[in-house]
């Protein structure tokens, strides 16, 4: 494999998005800029006994519309279907013909925070009610978190690095960063990277509800997710997938690709503090942001936009604000910060890739989506959160942050090219 004295530039050439706000990039982006909420009452299961009854659920998804064989669709979990659909959309957006790529120089890293939860729940019921002989032979392949990567690699015939990343809600930011490194240091020319999650299931809801982590503002679903607002009461679950096509700049230019921007910086750190609560001093995230900017070769005052993790939970939003202040100093007051989870809900392992797509589109279009439902300022969250209405502004550098249970942090930086 080729090795390079200095890392190669990595560029974004394709993006595919499947969320409750739309199943194309254009629809998704238009919904964000309009400040439209994708949160609605859950329809996929009976929520009568659940404290939280709402989510960013995709109601009209059909994997066969994205080219998945009906038989394969039945054999794969919903999260894999989301990953497959997003990957097909991203490849189409990139204009890259997979058949023209050296299969050993192309790979896949699609992460999932919890993998095939619906499959797990269904087969657990089967063994209890009908016994072990009735458990599906597709149970394990459908459940495991690396299957989205595997199915996409098979679809595109990509035989390079292929694995998954699992780091809770930081998963797909790590996936993008690791894919970037794979290209930078010569192990691939093309990487398909992102995340997929299908966690709007009874057991997922029960687990998060028992932690009292989810919003119970069921009477007004569209207003339930309110990052950085003083009255935030928990996150709202979302589902879907987002996948990028990343290429070395030289490879993309040689084929005449349309380039969105450069994926220029990445860093990963740990809080080493608590299994669920972020470090109150925000040391891990602040370090990740500093390192990502250094990796990208940019100073704090050059960053125009931060897509925050912004979960709408009391601790996360407060501590992320602290991290941004620690990292940016005086520049913290000048940078636009928004949380699009206010509209999509929290896609767990897929959140980072979806929010990375927002950064790329902000650079491309000169539009910054708002944080909706920001009504009552919190004195401890006192940055510019782009409240309620989109903003027109030139964005040359954008950053996306994500945090995961276990104290895992990831930050990535995109630059205009």
The set of catalytic residues is 169, 309, 346
DSSP 60-94: S--GGGGT--HHHHHHS-HHHHHHHHHHHHHHHHH
Please give the Cα distance from 217 to 225 (Å, whole number): 9
Could you tell me if 98 and 156 are in contact, meaning their C-beta atoms sit under 8 angstroms apart? yes
270 beta partners: 408
Closest C-alpha among 398, 378, 374, 397 to residue 386: 374
The residues, ordered by sequence, that sit 6+ positions from 211 with a Cβ below 8 Å of its Cβ are 276
The residues, ordered by sequence, that sit 6+ positions from 10 with a Cβ below 8 Å of its Cβ are 180, 183, 184, 246, 247, 248, 249, 262, 263, 264
Helix and strand tally (H, E) in the chain?
13, 14
Could you tell me if 152 and 84 are in contact, meaning their C-beta atoms sit under 8 angstroms apart? yes
The residues, ordered by sequence, that sit 6+ positions from 45 with a Cβ below 8 Å of its Cβ are 201, 202
């Amino acid at each position: 494999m080729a090795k390079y004295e200095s890392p190669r530039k990595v560029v974004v050439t394709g993006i595919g998005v499947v969320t409750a706000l739309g199943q194309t990039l254009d629809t998704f982006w238009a919904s964000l800029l309009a400040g439209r909420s994708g949160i609605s009452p859950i329809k996929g299961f009976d929520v009568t006994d659940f404290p939280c009854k709402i989510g960013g659920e995709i109601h009209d998804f059909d994997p066969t519309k994205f080219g998945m064989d009906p038989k394969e669709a039945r054999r794969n979990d919903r999260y894999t279907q989301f990953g497959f659909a997003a990957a097909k959309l991203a490849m189409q957006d990139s204009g890259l013909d997979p058949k023209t790529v050296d299969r050993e120089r192309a790979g896949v890293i699609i992460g999932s925070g919890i993998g095939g939860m619906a499959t797990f729940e269904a087969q657990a019921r089967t063994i209890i009610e009908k016994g072990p002989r009735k458990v599906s032979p597709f149970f394990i392949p459908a459940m495991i978190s690396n299957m989205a990567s595997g199915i996409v690699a098979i679809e595109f015939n990509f035989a390079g690095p292929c694995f998954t990343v699992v780091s809770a809600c930081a998963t797909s930011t790590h996936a993008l960063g690791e894919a970037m490194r794979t290209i930078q240091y010569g192990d691939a020319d093309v990487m398909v990277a992102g995340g997929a999650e299908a966690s709007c299931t009874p057991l997922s809801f029960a687990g998060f509800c028992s932690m009292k982590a989810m919003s119970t503002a069921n009477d007004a679903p569209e207003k339930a997710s309110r990052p950085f607002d003083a009255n935030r009461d928990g996150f709202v679950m979302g589902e879907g997938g987002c996948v990028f096509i990343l290429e070395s700049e030289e490879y993309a230019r040689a084929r005449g690709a349309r380039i969105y921007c450069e994926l220029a910086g990445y860093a990963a750190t740990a809080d080493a503090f608590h299994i669920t609560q972020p470090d109150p001093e925000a040391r891990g995230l602040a370090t990740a942001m500093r390192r990502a900017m250094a990796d990208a070769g940019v100073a704090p005052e050059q960053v125009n936009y931060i897509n925050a993790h912004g979960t709408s939970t009391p601790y996360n939003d407060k501590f992320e604000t602290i991290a941004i202040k620690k990292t940016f100093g005086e520049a913290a007051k000048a940078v636009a910060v928004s949380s699009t989870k206010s509209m999509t809900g929290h896609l767990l392992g897929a959140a980072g890739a979806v929010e990375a797509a927002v950064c790329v589109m902000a650079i491309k279009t000169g539009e910054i989506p708002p944080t909706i439902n920001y009504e009552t300022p919190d004195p401890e969250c006192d940055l510019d959160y782009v409240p309620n209405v989109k903003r027109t502004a030139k964005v040359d550098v954008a950053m996306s942050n994500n945090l995961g249970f276990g104290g895992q942090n990831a930050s990535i930086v995109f630059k205009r090219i």
